[in-house]
Structure 1
């Protein structure tokens, strides 16, 4: 009896794999059409400062998604509207809320290797490493996965919007439906803080209500394998300013007499971090426990320390974690900029009036932004400084040798969905079925997405499904999307849409 059951289960798995593999020829036959649509979409500039063009982006998406059964409407916000789409197949089904963004980063055309960043170009890499333009008519022949489309937002985030749309079109052509209800948020200002979308959370909370959330943004693991990311770090910021004399002084007249604030600042910063990179502030890592189960998850990610260090050209990594993935599980203390009172061009022989270090703190789920800043402030006090939230008065300068102005912003906290959550496990099974191997599971990615507060406000288990190539030059000149990632992304979307929740 057991053997019969085993054979039946094995047959079902083989049947499932066979059915999933049949998507490959369908994707291939549609790929040229998909790339032409992508070109058309990327050709519409998407900088929020140009509202007319942003509304053209809305119209393009609305027209295409209506054809695959969605109802779309613009939701009022404090700035640009949010484009909201939904397709309710069955009220008894689970509902998944998808998140995309329509806007792109600012451009400096002079820095691009093409005349106009919003005129997408199809390119292939030559033997010398340079990317050369090829004609769009090349798509009529065999399409090379390593060709790329260059243009602003080609990857971030218009490629995922096209991938998801194309998967829906393929389902529709096969007279198939997704296995859950779908709601979609198209954010028009993600690159600029998502102020508009975040302002809609309370008013449209019922409209957004869903069982799960999938964020389709960001690059896949650098192995380019299908990736599921279960969390991202938050961010808090602060500035620390130390003082010398009230006005900048001539280094010849007052050198060896007036204290230079740069040195007091550097000694203070040095007290916060060891030579091997570990933060020395009391309780900075409190609550973080990398047990064996978590360590196994982190070690399952196919990273190579040698490759990472070689690509960064660093001799060795800091010792906060045993490897790259483990390092991401701890809060950071990063000095992102240092400045003095001299802001002009060239050099002057002066002793600065003040020195300022601007710091960012990447947060993990176990740490709270406000509490981390308080730990930093307490550490500064313990170094003998008078800590103020303003510029010191003349009286305070005369009475105190060590003064710091500390200004903080607790920012946004991290989020993390358990890797063994039912939702994550079902997505993992679907992707394993269609690709024949488990996806890369990232416990926490290093960066911060501005919509973390939305995840918390809506109280939805969220998973990030990044699909574009890691080397897409996101936010930089010559942004690009690899054709093979579009092909694979459509397949990832099909796997998700066929997931029984």
Structure 2
């Protein structure tokens, strides 16, 4: 039966590319209310694709942007139920002038398709819809039961997804989740991501005088909030890269020798990495490799800092306030909520006299590391090997995908993170692109995955 599917996929490459281009033309920028109509258009497009594939498709209203679902549940009680997640919203395209071609006019150059959302996540999400459609249009059935949940708010924090899934806990109960919103390890090296760091995000504001002051008249008589905030932030990390927030490393387990060996065996050139970033030296927690620091060790970063005058030329003031945005990437056994409170207390304890502090909490998510020896991961490995002609490597990802924690908490399932894109695809940047070979390979791998999961059963 799978031979029919594979033949069909090869014959439909041109049609599949047309569908991808049509979706990429829709400027579904969720962060900007001016694009609300286009976000709705993208939701309708995805619903139509699911319906045309042969699924029961629906649009569900939320206080924000719609969630689209598609269901096919005729494989039987003994077959696993797979929940596929993706998102149809995209990042803003700014700065527009740095795009070689317009961000919502998909253009093919050198075997890649350039457009906002090409990799993140329209192209990757679409691979699973097209593969399911291939099975239903050729064989007439899938080897597994499938539920698609495609949201339109991933790029703005998935504000309504958790409530939606919790409300449909029984309806969408599943055995495993599949997400393609990560990357291959490198060109020609497919990967399965088995670990994600968690995250906490917050904002701190230091307030001083009740207005901006003339630095000549008042300078030296009050504490400058920008200097105060700089001093506080400088205490977050020591010279060896260790985070100084109390309790930050409590419960953090050491990397196993096997895992460190596997990381070290991956092709990685530190010199090339450094040159690509344009830095004169690398820095991080002492005693760990660059890969280990990026994937498997906790961090604390200041994402932005502002206050006072930032326009052209000088303006001699003591600013009335200063603000910084902070995120910490977390590893298993770190508690995002507890560490957020610890960070708040640490900053308060280091607040200079004469200043006041305001602290705002944003989102948080715990880290996840999955056991790759389980049957679902082995099925995914076989599917990827078949499609790309090479065994995938198992990697961790330094970023965070909060929906993985949601699937674990609500449904109690593991998530297969199967990325077809590359970190070099300019996600969130001008000239975002997606290799067409990886797009077609992703469809093939997804189609094979349904067979491998079906053969394995529950």
TM-score interval for Structure 1 and Structure 2 normalised by the shorter chain: 0.7 to 0.9
The residue that corresponds to 2:120 in the other structure is 156
The residue that corresponds to 1:127 in the other structure is none
Conserved? CA contact 2:380–2:416, under 8 Å? no
Taking the aligned partners of 1:109 and 1:266, their CA distance within structure 2 comes to 29
Cα-to-partner distance string for 1:296-329 (whole Å, 9 max, x where unaligned): 3433443332222221122332232622331122
- Report the CA distance between 1:85 and its aligned residue: 0.9
Cα-to-partner distance string for 1:339-396 (whole Å, 9 max, x where unaligned): 224466542122233333321112222211222123324434554x47xxxxxxxxxx
Q: 1:200 to 1:256 in 2, by over 3 A?
A: closer
Compute the RMSD of aligned alpha carbons: 3.0
Query: What is the aligned counterpart of 1:416 among 353, 356, 369?
Result: 369
Conserved? CA contact 1:46–1:102, under 8 Å? yes
Taking the aligned partners of 1:426 and 1:155, their CA distance within structure 2 comes to 24
- Report the CA distance between 1:411 and its aligned residue: 2.4
- Report the CA distance between 1:486 and its aligned residue: 1.3
Establish whether residue 367 from structure 1 lines up as the match of residue 334 from structure 2.
yes
- Report the CA distance between 1:99 and its aligned residue: 0.5
Taking the aligned partners of 1:304 and 1:216, their CA distance within structure 2 comes to 26
The residue that corresponds to 1:465 in the other structure is 418
Cα-to-partner distance string for 1:184-227 (whole Å, 9 max, x where unaligned): 11112222222232331222111211010011223322334222
The residue that corresponds to 1:338 in the other structure is 305
Q: 1:260 to 1:46 in 2, by over 3 A?
A: closer
Conserved? CA contact 2:121–2:181, under 8 Å? yes
SS in 2 for 1:119: coil
Establish whether residue 111 from structure 1 lines up as the match of residue 78 from structure 2.
no
Taking the aligned partners of 1:371 and 1:199, their CA distance within structure 2 comes to 23
Conserved? CA contact 1:109–1:117, under 8 Å? no
The residue that corresponds to 1:197 in the other structure is 161
TM superposition score normalised by structure 1: 0.79
Establish whether residue 279 from structure 1 lines up as the match of residue 236 from structure 2.
no
Taking the aligned partners of 2:229 and 2:13, their CA distance within structure 1 comes to 57
Taking the aligned partners of 1:174 and 1:100, their CA distance within structure 2 comes to 24
Taking the aligned partners of 1:373 and 1:199, their CA distance within structure 2 comes to 23
Query: What is the aligned counterpart of 2:319 among 342, 346, 352?
Result: 352
Taking the aligned partners of 2:117 and 2:348, their CA distance within structure 1 comes to 46
- Report the CA distance between 1:97 and its aligned residue: 0.3
Query: What is the aligned counterpart of 2:277 among 312, 323, 328?
Result: 312
Q: 1:68 to 1:358 in 2, by over 3 A?
A: closer
Q: 1:346 to 1:441 in 2, by over 3 A?
A: same
Conserved? CA contact 1:305–1:323, under 8 Å? no
Establish whether residue 489 from structure 1 lines up as the match of residue 454 from structure 2.
no
Cα-to-partner distance string for 1:135-169 (whole Å, 9 max, x where unaligned): xxxxxxxxxxxx22222222222212332233334
> Any gaps of 5 or more consecutive residues in structure 2?
none
TM superposition score normalised by structure 2: 0.86
The residue that corresponds to 1:396 in the other structure is none
Q: 1:112 to 1:23 in 2, by over 3 A?
A: farther
Q: 1:173 to 1:235 in 2, by over 3 A?
A: same
SS in 1 for 2:260: helix
Q: 1:194 to 1:224 in 2, by over 3 A?
A: farther
Establish whether residue 77 from structure 1 lines up as the match of residue 44 from structure 2.
no
SS in 1 for 2:390: coil
> Any gaps of 5 or more consecutive residues in structure 1?
1-18, 125-146, 387-399
Conserved? CA contact 1:201–1:458, under 8 Å? no
Cα-to-partner distance string for 1:256-289 (whole Å, 9 max, x where unaligned): 4433333333333222212242213333222222
- Report the CA distance between 1:114 and its aligned residue: 5.9
Taking the aligned partners of 1:200 and 1:35, their CA distance within structure 2 comes to 31
The residue that corresponds to 2:406 in the other structure is 454
The residue that corresponds to 2:24 in the other structure is 42
The residue that corresponds to 2:107 in the other structure is 121
Conserved? CA contact 1:82–1:188, under 8 Å? yes
- Report the CA distance between 1:110 and its aligned residue: 3.7
Conserved? CA contact 1:96–1:180, under 8 Å? yes
- Report the CA distance between 1:244 and its aligned residue: 4.7
Q: 1:464 to 1:22 in 2, by over 3 A?
A: same
- Report the CA distance between 1:84 and its aligned residue: 0.9
Conserved? CA contact 2:43–2:67, under 8 Å? no
Conserved? CA contact 1:95–1:181, under 8 Å? yes
Query: What is the aligned counterpart of 1:299 among 252, 257, 264?
Result: 264
Taking the aligned partners of 2:384 and 2:205, their CA distance within structure 1 comes to 50
Taking the aligned partners of 2:23 and 2:319, their CA distance within structure 1 comes to 51
- Report the CA distance between 1:467 and its aligned residue: 0.9
Taking the aligned partners of 2:326 and 2:40, their CA distance within structure 1 comes to 37
Q: How does 1:218-229 map to 2 (within 5 A)?
A: 218-229=182-193
